[in-house]
Amino acid sequence: MQVSTSLMFDRAIARMGVTQDRLSQTQLQLSSGKQVIKPSDAPDESATITRMKSVIERQESYLDTMNTVKDKLAQQETAAKSANDIVIRIKELAVQAANDTNSPADRQYIGIEVRELRDQLLSLANSQDVNGNYIFSGSRVAKPAFATDAGGQLLYQGDMTVSPAGVGDEREVPTNRPGVNPFGKIIRTAEDGSRQGVGFFQAIDDFAAALDANDSSAIQRAVGETGTLQESLSGSLAAIGASMNTIDNQTALTEETLLRLKGTLSKVEDVDYTEAITQMNKDMLALEAAQSSFAKISQLNLFDYIR
């Protein structure tokens, strides 16, 4: 079968075109560091890469959330721990004041310290974060957790809303804490046996008033009530600590998951430089050989064939 010169040229040009395209693709892979340049190059691998990147982005979002939540919990923990230390001191003063050897003047001096400590507690209960949000007001973060009403009574004006944050596909932790949790009410039993709830700060104010009035009975009652206040704060500290442990454990798990996912993605997406460079060198040699052969063929004429 005779092969026309035109057909030979077409075949040679086609082979050079294929080699040139493959060489260009390899060069693009080397310059970008990626195996798949366009989704059409490898649809299956491209779909896998897209899915894995979506999973990685979600895990990284969880890490960002956990860092934010941990900062909030750390501030809550600091405030609650400081408040706990203050209430321990108030309890010590209650035990000291309950001693009958104290004179009325002695108890009044103790009352001065109690009121100063009470004001410190109020400042801690109305702590704000870096954005100016009150950390113990529930969802009403624009309002101080505790404020004095028209009657002069200090009341909680936040709400009981607890906002959870997703830190994993099936895991959440609370991001805020209502003020009545660490600074909760106590139950007081009256002389007639009736019981009533008394606010955190009201209990301390009553203790200070009892010191001024030299009311031994009320001072003795304050010993037990300050102990209850301290137990409430300790319970809140334990709850905050548990949430922080959850964050730490989940952070470690998410970081490990991310490391594994990124390693798998790299195997699918990133180019193997050694293999790509070897292939590029082969394609360059093949292209040079094809171009050399084409140049020789294109110079042949009828007399060359006759010889």
| Amino acid symbol at 25 | Q
pLDDT at 190: 82
93 CB-contact burial (10 Å; exposed 0-12 / middle 13-18 / buried 19+): buried
Which of 27-31, 138-142, 253-257 is predicted with the least confidence, judged by mean pLDDT? 27-31
C-alpha to C-alpha distance for 282 and 277, rounded to whole angstroms: 9
What is the rounded CA–CA span in Å between residue 148 and residue 247?
36
Percentage of the chain modeled with pLDDT above 70: 73
Where helices occur in the chain by DSSP H, the ranges are 5-32, 43-97, 104-125, 200-213, 216-269, 273-299, 302-306
pLDDT recorded at residue 24: 53
> Do 173 and 86 meet the contact criterion of CB atoms below 8 Å apart?
no
Residue pointed to by tokens 């594994």: 260
pLDDT at 263: 85
Give the integer Cα–Cα distance in Å for 159 and 184.
Answer: 13
Q: Give CA angle at 302 (17, 304), nearest 5°.
A: 85
pTM over 0.85: no
List the single range of 53-57, 97-101, 261-265, 291-295 with lowest mean pLDDT. Answer: 291-295
In the structure, what pLDDT confidence band is assigned to residue 124 with cuts at 50, 70 and 90? very high
The C-alpha angle with vertex 203 and arms to 210 and 85, in degrees rounded to 5, equals 105
Mean pLDDT (the chain, rounded): 83
Mean pLDDT computed over 34-48: 66
DSSP character at residue 36: -
List the domains of the chain with CATH numbers. Answer: 90-236 (1.20.1330.10)
Give the chain's length: 307
Residue 296, pLDDT score:
56
φ/ψ region of 301 (left if φ > 0, alpha if ψ in -120 to 50, else beta) reads beta
Q: Tens digit of pLDDT for each residue in 59-78?
A: 999 999 999 999 999 999 99
Q: Tens digit of pLDDT for each residue in 284-304? A: 655 555 555 555 555 555 445
**β partners of residue 146:** 156
Contact 147, 154 (CB under 8 A): yes
What value, to the nearest 5°, has the Cα angle with vertex 100 and ends 99 and 106? 80
- Give me the mean pLDDT over the 111-123 stretch: 97
What dihedral angle (degrees, nearest 10) is formed by the CA atoms of 53, 54, 58, 60?
A: 20
- Assess contact for 206 and 186: CB atoms under 8 A: no
pLDDT at 276 exceeding the cut of 70? no
DSSP-assigned letter for residue 40: G
Whole-number Å distance between alpha carbons of 165 and 107 = 48
